[in-house]
Structure 1
Amino acid sequence: MLSPHEIAALMLIENAQHHHELNPADLNALLDRRLVWLEPQPQVHDRRLHLTNHGRHVLDAIAGKH
């Protein structure tokens, strides 16, 4: 089960690709649950976050789309 902070982080990631302001613990939880993935970039601080299909499904379920 996701915490409210993790759900909010997932929603932020859906709308923005950078994760600089996200709580690292929330980000790690989303990565561990495979709800997001980090796109490799030449510079570590420029990595971009993306929702996985599972992450999108979770947000759709929260929004009542499923």
Structure 2
Amino acid sequence: MLSPHEFATLMLIKNAPDQIELDRAELDTLLERQLISLESLTSGRPRPHVTSDGDSILKAITRIR
């Protein structure tokens, strides 16, 4: 089960990936659970990206509300 902070971080990555700070502790959990991945930009800075599993979780959350 994800914490509220991890859910919020997953939503932020989905909607505004360039706004997330990469030193957030929640990123480690999301990476471990393969809910996000890091893609390398040409600038050399990694950018978080929601995986299909992460997207499925976000869709399930919106159906529950």
- Specify whether residues 8 and 23 from structure 1 end up closer, same or farther in structure 2 by C-alpha distance, changes over 3 A only: farther
CA deviations on 1:8-37 (whole Å, 9 max, x unpaired) are 0000000112222x6621011000100000
**Given the two structures, how large is their TM-score scaled by the length of structure 2?**
0.83
SS of residue paired to 1:64: helix
User: Any unmatched runs of 5+ in structure 2?
Assistant: none
User: Percent same amino acid at aligned positions?
Assistant: 47
Residue 10 of structure 1 corresponds to: 10
Give structure 1 regions of 4+ aligned residues with deviation exceeding 6 angstroms. Answer: none
- Specify whether residues 23 and 4 from structure 1 end up closer, same or farther in structure 2 by C-alpha distance, changes over 3 A only: farther
Aligned residues: 62
Residue 48 of structure 2 corresponds to: 49
SS of residue paired to 1:48: strand
CA RMSD after TM alignment: 1.7
Aligned runs of 1:3-42 on 2, under 5 Å?
A: 3-18=3-18, 19-20=20-21, 24-41=24-41, 42=43
CA deviation after TM superposition for structure 1 residue 40, in Å: 1.7
